[in-house]
A and B are shown apart, each in its own frame.
Chain A
Amino acid sequence: MPATDQAARTGSDLVARLAGFARALREAGLVVGTGDLLTYGEATALLNPTDLVDLYWAGRTTLVTRRDQLPVYDEVFRQYYLDQPAPPGEPEPWSVKQRSDATATLQLPDPERGPEGTPDDEQEARMGLMASTAGTMRHRAFGDCSPAELAAIRQLMRRMRLVPPRRRSRRQRHSRRGTTPDMRRIVRRTMRHHGDPTELAWTRRKPRTRRLILILDVSGSMADYSRALLQFAHGTLRSSRKVEVFCFGTRLTRITHQLEKRRPDEALRAAGERVVDWEGGTRIGESIDTFVKVWGRRGISRGAIVVICSDGLERGAAETLDAAMQKLARLSHRIVWLNPHKGDQGDTWVPSSLGMMVAAPYVDEMLPGHDLASLEELAAVLPRLR
């Protein structure tokens, strides 16, 4: 039956073509499983695979799961099916691009294990260093540390966790004493006593951990401090999903997703490439304004603890920062500001930079965050910020 053969061959050609497209998407950084490919195939079969628009929408509904993946999908689709490169001025692909000049400025010796893997004995040597110098290390500013010391500090930090405070949620749970009767239990108990309600049961509202949002300044001198904090965030992110991490220099970017997969150093470096324009200095006001508009308004910071790590050296307009901080304060539960310069000057510190003076009225807690001891202080303060 030549006709059937022909059909089968065209069919398998098509499947190979679809699979190739899925592979191209994977290479561009999208997660496409075999199941997704299967659904894609089914959807295409339902539609008209010779119609390019059908082909486009079949893939878009089945292979894309987030809005920010759409530009990547469009780009890969254009290249794969139309064999055309992106015209200039297209939105950036989802995966992070390398920019060598930016890397150079942010580059610190990588205190983590490199991708090629460091031998175990070196790891042990670090652990030894950590044990002997843990005491002195605690009060050493991150900016003054040597790479080896940073590595040791990092080992110490792995054991620390940020625990955000908890709030009462709408979810009920059984409790010995409470405010609302637990009818389910009362009826069960009543049946045990032939219909006489002898004992009441109660529910109370279950506590829930507040979300923690880190907004980190990664420009120039702040990179060391933000990096340390990021290590914190990384550990916390592993244990709960309640952390969101943003980086800014002149622009703001969300790195929560990257952080879930990568090691913190890599994520921070990638973020640095995207957000830092070395000529432009730090634009805290605009970055916080972006956060409020794009993320805060959607509710991500509602009831959350926002931790901002920056030295407050603002290049933008003070009014922008003031307006942005005011909105942020209204949209979030508490704001903590970590300023490493506070640590340098000790207890006599007063906010001196213009940015800091503008932001100070909206900040609930001002901490140094320049060394390990002060990060421990942060970890201790957080659960109390009810």
Chain B
Amino acid sequence: MSTGVGELTDQLEAVGYLADRGLATAAYVALTLGRPLLLEGEVGVGKTEVAKALTTVLDRRLIRLQCYEGIDVHQALYEWDYARQMLQIRALGDEELHASETVPSLYGPEFLLERPLLAAVRAGSSAVLLIDEVDRADDEFEAFLLELLSDFQVSIPEIGTVRAESPPLVVLTSNRTRELHDALKRRCLYHWVGYPEAERELQIVLTRAPGIAAELGRKVVAAVNRLRDLDLAKPPGVAETIDWVRTIDVLGSNDLDAGIAADTLGAVIKDRDDLDIVVPALERVVAGH
């Protein structure tokens, strides 16, 4: 293993994120080459957590852009503070109103509302930019992102061009509700985040929910793995495993049996059709035979 990858893995582990070899390699390469990192994977496998952990490791600022349908430049990049501009105009005296510098002053930095992408360009390499659930944004926004990610500069007509001296680390996540354009993917390094192996998942659970009996953790992880083997519409992710362990712990139990599992099933199975499959098989899911 290259030393850089090993170091990054250790650093991530120190802040509570257990990355496997593939993810650590992808993050290391992204960081060193200055390329955006695109993470795809099932829901609840810790895609967003990667960005947060990297932020802590690198001691940078996390700038997060949550994508949604219809997100546009004004919500993602910058917007003028219209209310303040209006007030300013009303407050101006007659001569000031006609002075030539009035209009430029209305489009000065104090009227500019910084949105996440502009903040990230300004912060440069002192930030980690997390573009979360990019698949929820529409095609137009994706095209705009493509431009931004290629040269990290933004031109604001009234002010000029803002450029990042050295680009921030960009992490994009997608739940694959739709396929992203190949052009965007080609700008990025790609990593598919799968479910961790049982042993690693147990470590993750014990790290994330300290104070849990290892035996309980082991049983829950085994049960969740059996759930994933069932033909479910929404197989539980790592986040659900952690939730389940915590729920059982809150109820004061140290063991997982069919009764407790039935009471706490809402923490892992969140779909009615899936419940119909799981409930009859619960004994087998919990006991493993």
Find chain B residues with CB under 8 A from A297 CB. 233-234
Report whether B192 and A62 are in contact in the complex, using a CB–CB cutoff of 8 Å: no
Measured CA separation A46–B24 after assembly (Å)? 13
Find chain A residues with CB under 8 A from B190 CB. 61-62, 64-65
Measured CA separation A70–B41 after assembly (Å)? 13
Find chain B residues with CB under 8 A from A197 CB. 86
B-side interface residues, number (CB < 8 Å): 49
Report whether A195 and B29 are in contact in the complex, using a CB–CB cutoff of 8 Å: no
- Does A104 count as interface, using CB distance less than 8 angstroms? no
CB distance from A184 to the nearest CB of B (A): 7
Find chain A residues with CB under 8 A from B85 CB. 187
Interface residues of A in 31-74 (CB under 8 A from B): 31, 33, 35-36, 39, 42-43, 46-48, 51, 53-54, 57-58, 60-62, 64-67, 70
Report whether B86 and A184 are in contact in the complex, using a CB–CB cutoff of 8 Å: no
Interface string of B175-200 (1 = CB under 8 A from A): 11111001001100111100000000
- Does B40 count as interface, using CB distance less than 8 angstroms? yes
Report whether A298 and B175 are in contact in the complex, using a CB–CB cutoff of 8 Å: yes
Interface residues of B in 1-43 (CB under 8 A from A): 1-2, 4-5, 21-22, 25-26, 28-30, 32-33, 35, 40
Find chain B residues with CB under 8 A from A384 CB. none
Report whether B89 and A195 are in contact in the complex, using a CB–CB cutoff of 8 Å: yes
Provided the pairs A57-B21, A187-B86 are in contact, do residues A194 and B97 lie with their beta carbons within 8 angstroms? yes
Find chain B residues with CB under 8 A from A169 CB. 69-70, 138
Report whether A195 and B2 are in contact in the complex, using a CB–CB cutoff of 8 Å: no
Find chain B residues with CB under 8 A from A54 CB. 1-2, 5, 25
Report whether A48 and B1 are in contact in the complex, using a CB–CB cutoff of 8 Å: yes
Measured CA separation A164–B86 after assembly (Å)? 43
Choose from A67, A172, A292 the contact partner of B192 (Cβ within 8 Å): A67
CB distance from B100 to the nearest CB of A (A): 13
Find chain B residues with CB under 8 A from A64 CB. 190
Find chain A residues with CB under 8 A from B229 CB. none
Measured CA separation A42–B86 after assembly (Å)? 52
Question: Looking across the interface, which residue of chain B has its beta carbon closest to that of A298?
Answer: B177
Measured CA separation A208–B92 after assembly (Å)? 43
Question: Looking across the interface, which residue of chain B has its beta carbon closest to that of A57?
Answer: B25
Report whether A47 and B5 are in contact in the complex, using a CB–CB cutoff of 8 Å: yes
- Does A241 count as interface, using CB distance less than 8 angstroms? yes
Measured CA separation A186–B82 after assembly (Å)? 9
CB distance from A139 to the nearest CB of B (A): 39
A-side interface residues, number (CB < 8 Å): 45
CB distance from B231 to the nearest CB of A (A): 8
Report whether B185 and A65 are in contact in the complex, using a CB–CB cutoff of 8 Å: yes
CB distance from B10 to the nearest CB of A (A): 16
- Does B90 count as interface, using CB distance less than 8 angstroms? yes
Report whether B175 and A187 are in contact in the complex, using a CB–CB cutoff of 8 Å: no
Report whether A46 and B32 are in contact in the complex, using a CB–CB cutoff of 8 Å: yes
Report whether B82 and A195 are in contact in the complex, using a CB–CB cutoff of 8 Å: no
Report whether A46 and B33 are in contact in the complex, using a CB–CB cutoff of 8 Å: yes
Measured CA separation A299–B177 after assembly (Å)? 5
- Does B72 count as interface, using CB distance less than 8 angstroms? yes
Interface residues of B in 191-243 (CB under 8 A from A): 191-192, 231, 233-234
Question: Looking across the interface, which residue of chain A has its beta carbon closest to that of B31?
Answer: A46
From B29, B33, B85, name the one whose CB has the most chain A CB atoms within 10 angstroms. B29
Find chain B residues with CB under 8 A from A33 CB. 186
Report whether A53 and B21 are in contact in the complex, using a CB–CB cutoff of 8 Å: yes
Choose from B22, B86, B90, B103 the contact partner of A60 (Cβ within 8 Å): B22
- Does A327 count as interface, using CB distance less than 8 angstroms? yes
Measured CA separation A172–B30 after assembly (Å)? 35
CB distance from A14 to the nearest CB of B (A): 15
Question: Looking across the interface, which residue of chain B has its beta carbon closest to that of A51?
Answer: B1
Measured CA separation A208–B191 after assembly (Å)? 31
Report whether B21 and A170 are in contact in the complex, using a CB–CB cutoff of 8 Å: no
Report whether B2 and A51 are in contact in the complex, using a CB–CB cutoff of 8 Å: yes
Provided the pairs A62-B29, A170-B70 are in contact, do residues A48 and B2 lie with their beta carbons within 8 angstroms? yes
Choose from B4, B86, B106, B186 the contact partner of A36 (Cβ within 8 Å): B186
- Does A293 count as interface, using CB distance less than 8 angstroms? yes
- Does A352 count as interface, using CB distance less than 8 angstroms? no
CB distance from A297 to the nearest CB of B (A): 5
Q: A43-B33, A51-B1, A169-B69 are in contact. List 17 more A-B contacts (CB 8 A).
A: A46-B33, A53-B21, A54-B1, A57-B26, A60-B191, A61-B30, A61-B189, A170-B69, A170-B70, A171-B72, A171-B138, A184-B74, A187-B82, A195-B86, A208-B138, A297-B233, A298-B176
- Could you jot down 6 A-B contacts, CB within 8 Å? A31-B182, A61-B191, A65-B186, A195-B86, A297-B233, A298-B177
Binding site for B on A (CB under 8 A): 31, 33, 35-36, 39, 42-43, 46-48, 51, 53-54, 57-58, 60-62, 64-67, 70, 169-172, 183-184, 186-187, 190-191, 194-195, 197, 208, 241, 292-293, 297-300, 327
Which 4 pairs, one residue from A and one from B, show the smallest C-beta to C-beta distance? A170-B70, A299-B177, A195-B89, A57-B25
